[in-house]
Amino acid sequence: MTDLPKITGLKARSVNAPLDRPVRTASGSLETAPLVLIDVETDAGVTGRAYVMGYTPVSLEPMRAFLSNIEPMCVGKSIAPFDRATDFENAFRLMGRQGLVGMALSGLDMALWDALGQAHDTAVVQLLGGEARPVIAYDSYGIVDMPADAGVLEASVKRGFQAIKIKLGQADVALDIATCRAVREVIGNDVALMIDYNQSLTVQETLYRLEHLIEFDLAWVEEPVPAEDLDAHAEIQAASPFPVQTGENWWFVSDMEKAIAAGACDYAMPDLMKIGGITGWQKAAGLAAAARMPMSSHLFIEASAHVLPVTPTAHYLEYLDLASTVLQDPPELVDGHVTPKGPGLGMVWNEDAVKRYLV
């Protein structure tokens, strides 16, 4: 194929999909998955698909409307993701691309990569120069209620997960200690245990709590303080007994550059929906490689399974299933690993389910 297919249409639909396991955090709860489904139609007869997650249903209509409004900027242009990302960077330079705009544009980028893969009848991971190999995942929990949640944690271990993340930050350090001890008793010492405070603490409170959690051999502590406070993260990183993980709230690679320069973290976790989609992820992976920084994914199992195999410092894929209820053939978890599907990103909507959960 010498000429890339051209975009003939852009469709966005909102759904509020159920979650098998609602996610409670110290900063709020996620009871459902508010998703915007993106379809990029082409003159080659293939449709590129991706989705973004709005965290709250009130974000769905603004994102859907924004994507519909930029359709005229897309129609007639090729499905070249890098060039379209450059177009939008220029188009929205004065306004900025943070927030819902950045999320929508990142989702569009993922849909363009899906269309490109389908047009070449190959998986995106292969377009990026990699092989469709299994990627190690960790099971991602919200705040757990022990001992009531012991059974689901045991099930995670039986499914082959070698790492599990839980969220903390409620009440005081006594509850953190009790929770970590109870979880360790269930999963054992051979399974990595990560904790996530979801930006709920101060520097002083973080360091106080971490000193009391040393016995649990934590693999990382994630976003203990507000994500934008790089100085606070750097202060914690310098004194923490555990590696500091952050990145899910970085807006495009410029935020990642600032975080690395500030010494804000040991590990990086960009979010495909905020870092600029797959095009932005490639730039982020280069920064992580230069900094020798382990890099994990945040959400978006389907696309993350394609980009991690070509990430030089790939660490973990976060397994938090948002979209399987609206997909015909969701990703399969085999012995704690996810293998990318194709062609493209391997996603086809279950239209009956989409209609059922349409907002």
Structural domain for 275, as ranges: 129-351
**pLDDT tens string 257-293:** 999 999 999 999 999 999 999 999 999 999 999 999 9
Return d(Cα 303, Cα 340) in angstroms, integer.
Answer: 8
**pLDDT tens string 287-320:** 999 999 999 999 999 999 999 999 999 999 999 9
Within-domain flag for 356: no
326 and 339 inside one domain: yes
**pLDDT tens string 74-124:** 999 999 999 999 999 999 998 888 999 999 999 999 999 999 999 999 999
Helix (H) or strand (E) holding 279: helix 277-290
Examine the fold and report which residue of 60, 91, 124 is the final residue of a domain before the chain moves on: 124
C-beta neighbour count of 59 within 10 angstroms = 18
105 and 149 inside one domain: no
Residue 68 in this model has a pLDDT that exceeds 70: yes
CA distances from 134 to 235, 293, 306 (A): 36, 21, 10
Examine the fold and report which residue of 58, 93, 124 is the final residue of a domain before the chain moves on: 124
Among 35, 16, 39, CA closest to 348: 39
Question: What is the per-residue DSSP string for 206-267?
Answer: HHHHHHTTGGG--SEEE--S-TT-HHHHHHHHHH-SS-EEE-TT--HHHHHHHHHHHT--SE
Residues designated as active site: 167, 298
**pLDDT for 30:** 83
119 and 181 inside one domain: no
150 and 283 inside one domain: yes
Over residues 240-256, the mean pLDDT reads 97
Q: Look over the chain and give the mean of its residue pLDDT values, rounded to a whole number.
A: 96
Which residues are paired to 41 by β-bridges? Answer: 9, 47
Residue pair 61/129 in contact (Cβ under 8 Å)? The answer is no
**pLDDT for 96:** 86
70 and 146 inside one domain: no
Return d(Cα 25, Cα 28) in angstroms, integer.
Answer: 5
Chain centroid to CA 297: how far? 5
Q: Which two tokens stand for residue 60?
A: 């769905």
Among 248, 282, 242, CA closest to 268: 248
CA distances from 324 to 26, 191, 299 (A): 26, 26, 13
Within-domain flag for 34: yes
**pLDDT tens string 144-171:** 999 999 999 999 999 999 999 999 988 8
Within-domain flag for 261: yes
Instruction: State what percent of residues in the chain have pLDDT above 70.
Output: 99
Examine the fold and report which residue of 124, 147, 168 is the final residue of a domain before the chain moves on: 124
34 and 161 inside one domain: no
Within-domain flag for 162: yes
* Amino acid, res. 114: D
Within-domain flag for 240: yes
Residue 16 pLDDT grade (very low, low, confident, very high; cuts 50, 70, 90): very high
Residue 195 in this model has a pLDDT that exceeds 60: yes
CA distances from 264 to 103, 115, 236 (A): 23, 36, 8
Within-domain flag for 2: no
Q: Where are the alpha helices (DSSP H) in 81-194?
A: 81-91, 99-119, 124-127, 150-158, 173-187
Residue 1 in this model has a pLDDT that exceeds 60: no
Residue pair 193/218 in contact (Cβ under 8 Å)? The answer is yes
Chain centroid to CA 128: how far? 19
48 and 138 inside one domain: no
Within-domain flag for 1: no
166 and 295 inside one domain: yes
Residue 2 in this model has a pLDDT that exceeds 80: no
306 and 334 inside one domain: yes
Q: Please state which of the ranges 16-25, 49-58, 150-159, 223-232 shows the lowest mean pLDDT.
A: 16-25
Residue 32 is part of a domain; what is its CATH number? 3.30.390.10
152 and 281 inside one domain: yes
- Please count the structural domains in the chain: 2
Within-domain flag for 357: no
320 and 293 inside one domain: yes
116 and 236 inside one domain: no
* Amino acid, res. 137: A
Return d(Cα 72, Cα 228) in angstroms, integer.
Answer: 34
Return d(Cα 76, Cα 188) in angstroms, integer.
Answer: 56
